Amino acid sequence: MFVRLRQSGVKAVLDVLHQILDQELESASDQTFALLLETSCQLLEQFRQDPWSAEGYEMLKRLSPRQASTLFDAMMRGTFPDGNPDDESLTEPAIILLAGLMSASGAHANALGFLDALIARQDRQSLRYARWFAQCRAIGCSDRISDYWPTMPDVTGSPDELAAALKDEPLDIGTRRAFVRALAEKRIALGALDELSIGLSLPVDEHAKMGLAQDLAVLASFLLAQGDNTLLAKQRLHWGLAAYPAVAKEAADYFDATVQVGKLPFLDEATASRIRSFFLVSAGYAATVAVPTGRQLSPYPTKNGKPHVDTVWLEITNFCNQKCGFCPDPFREEARNWLPLDQVKGLIDDLAENVSVGSMQLNAYGEPLLHPHIGEILQYIKDRKLPWPTFFTTHGLTLVEKKLKQLSNNYPNGIAVSLHNDSQESYAATRSAKIGDYETLVSRVTDLLRQMVSEQASSHLRLYQMVCNGYEAKEVDAKVRQAFPDSPERMLKHIRSWERIAADIVLKLPAEVRAEAIVNSEARIETAFRVKLHDERNYVPILRWKAKSGELHEAFISTRPVGTYANLLLEYDPRWKVKREVVNKYTCGFTKTPSLAIFASGRLGVCCLDLNSTATFGSLSDFANLKEALTSPAAMRMFAELANGVATNRGCQICLASGSQLCNVG
């Protein structure tokens, strides 16, 4: 019977308590007995369902020391009838309950010692929370965060009411503070932290945020004292603090002043030191205060001492002579431009010297092969032996003889072609007749592929293929959608045609070139057709060759449902209504691994999707170099906003619009 109790089944506890109390509390009134029994069962059940149960802890607080002591004895005797306690066999809810009963009975040192020993063996957050509760009881302080807020809020209300008010007034810091508090008081810690970091990132005067900084100091103290380290890992909060160092410093100063006067008595010195360090590191980003050594000053990721960007989009030109029916480029409002050769070289030098780069694309929107010096740019990149790979995407009809000569033995690490069409009908429905037709497109892409294989290029060729497979964005014009392969059979026919092209190329290659044309199974082609989201790993190879370097390279077809890329068309199209909000549910994925767009306009942004470079934090001319640009206060503010779903510019408002995150990167 007692062994069953170790597994903390409520029924077992009830049975055991019933028997023990029956024997030992013969003189107790039925009412007392019933209350104890009911309380013990409810407590155990509460902690079984939720180890952080607010109701469970409240019930513990309502027990008298005598009641708690009686319950504790009963539980111990029921659990260990042989009188040999073995705390290793206790389950989590039983530990929490026993520690809580010890505290409630006044045996504070025992409760803390019991939990310390268990945490040392098994460091669970729920046990650290139980310890914090025991600590509060030991020193007789309140465990309610509402007793510690710095000032009374001007605004009050339930979380739902405050959330509704913020819909109308998203920039109102007072309402947001009240919302943060309401969530924290309901122990919705993650929600409170997110709302707080949104508040920190809003485009309002930083003096308005000082109260929020004080709330943060209290919330941080509670969370860390309770053993919850979420705050320290919240990148969006860290961005918010780094963007507004004076606010972070206010949080640090308020925290210090509050701790010093003993207003946060549950904090031990080690936890207080971690919190102080967190604020100072954020505030110290701008080097306004001394920061603890050995810590990264900025949330901006660095590699080898340089700010790291995952992808650089170097838009060497924003000219494009295609008119794709799925691309917003025709809605471009900015002047068409190309960056002069010297400037492109200078930017490449700047990147090499000052920035750690994951990879580089020579375009955002726009057609890179229209740049008059594309050959020299590629040659320069090759000669510089850059430590990162370079790619570009072309629409394919620019692959004329002159461009093929410029590309000859001068390839980047990969070339992508927006092939997309599978027939003249498909081409005519989605592309410009002024610059060519489907046959010409196939012929020019074939010429490039033949040249790359013959020259044993150390480069791959990716052919992008839109599909209309049920996962495409339905808002895309039906005429455009249906222009792309809309069945596995049609996809199969298309792939087989490219496999034949590949076989023909291989057949006519000089003997010394080692290449192989690939024939795919129908199953693989169907899998590629049914792609839900664009996935670089979901492709169909058509040709494999051995480069001069000895590596194997491939040409392959990459599928993606219509509208999962270059799809901001929908929102730029004046016929398509988009809701624009400053605070959005979605956040920008490019802040998780920051990227950099250098637009042909000279503006600097975070991603390639922002057609009119509105989502930008300055221009090249504003900064001495790209490191300074990336770590500038303006860039920090933009990262803070985007990491928190705050959109102050038109590009991001379009992208993060409620209800549909069409750029699909977050």
Q: Is 341 helix (H, G, I), strand (E, B) or coil?
A: helix
191 touches 179 (CB < 8 A): no
Quick one: 374 or 655, whose CB is closer to ligand SF4?
Answer: 655
Q: Which is nearer to ligand SF4, 332 or 373 (CB)?
A: 332
What is the closest distance, in whole angstroms, from the C-beta atom of residue 494 to ligand SF4 in the complex?
19
- In our burial notation (b when 16+ CB lie closer than 10 A, e otherwise), range 368-381 reads bbbbebbbebbebb
DSSP string, 570-634: HHHSTTS-----SB-SS--GGGTTT-EEE-TTSEEES-S--TTS-SEEEEGGGSSSHHHHHTSHH
Angle ∠(406,411,412) on CA atoms, nearest 5: 125
**Residue number with CB closer to ligand SF4 (136 or 362):** 362
How big is the chain by its Cα radius of gyration, in Å?
32
Q: How far is the CB of 466 from ligand SF4 (least distance, A)?
A: 10
Tokens in use for 518?
A: 């690939």
Pick 30 or 536: Cβ nearer ligand SF4: 536
Contact 337, 366 (CB under 8 A): no
Closest to ligand SF4 by CB, 492 or 665: 665
Q: Over the range 111-139, which residues count as b (16 or more CB within 10 Å of their CB) and which as e?
A: bbebbeebbeeeebebbbbbbbbbbbbbe
Nearest Cα residue to 281 out of 309, 250, 312, 245 = 245
Rounded to a whole number of angstroms, the minimum distance from the CB of residue 322 to ligand SF4 is: 4
Provide, rounded to whole angstroms, the least separation between the CB of residue 391 and ligand SF4: 14
Interacting residues with ligand SF4 (CB under 6 A): 320, 322-324, 327, 329, 365-367, 395, 418, 566, 588, 590, 606-607, 609-610, 615, 642, 651-652, 655-656, 663, 665
Angstrom distance (rounded) from CA 218 to CA 307: 32
Q: Which is nearer to ligand SF4, 455 or 571 (CB)?
A: 571
As measured in angstroms, the least distance from the Cβ of 319 to ligand SF4 is 9
Which residue blocks in 262-371 are alpha helix, DSSP H? 269-283, 341-354
Shortest approach of ligand SF4 to residue 610 CB, angstroms? 4
Which residue lies nearer to ligand SF4 by CB, 218 or 609?
Answer: 609
Give me the least distance between CB of 342 and ligand SF4, in Å please.
Answer: 25
* Closest CB 365 distance from ligand SF4, rounded Å: 4
Q: What angle do CA 378, 383, 386 make, to 5 degrees?
A: 85
Task: Report d(CA 166, CA 553) in Å as an integer.
Answer: 54
Beta carbon of residue 568, minimum distance to ligand SF4 (angstroms, whole number): 8
The whole-angstrom separation of Cα 129 and Cα 147 is 18
Distance CA 197, CA 216 (A): 9
DSSP string, 538-581: -EEEEEEEE-TTS-EEEEEEEEEETTSSSTTHHHHSTTS-----
Cβ 153 to ligand SF4 shortest distance, Å: 31
Do 425 and 396 form a contact (C-beta atoms < 8 A)?
no
Q: Which is nearer to ligand SF4, 108 or 323 (CB)?
A: 323
226 or 311, CB closer to ligand SF4? 311
Q: Residue 368 or residue 412: which is nearer to ligand SF4 going by CB?
A: 368
CB of 525 to ligand SF4, least distance (A): 24
For ligand SF4, which is the closer residue by CB, 153 or 299? 299
Closest CA to 390 of 410, 358, 416, 412: 412
Name which of 366 and 485 has its Cβ closer to ligand SF4: 366
Nearer to ligand SF4, 110 or 648 (CB): 648
Measured CA to CA, the distance from residue 297 to residue 314 in angstroms comes to 28
Three-state SS at 177: helix
Least distance to ligand SF4, CB of residue 648, Å: 10
The least distance separating ligand SF4 from the CB of residue 431, rounded to whole angstroms, comes to 8
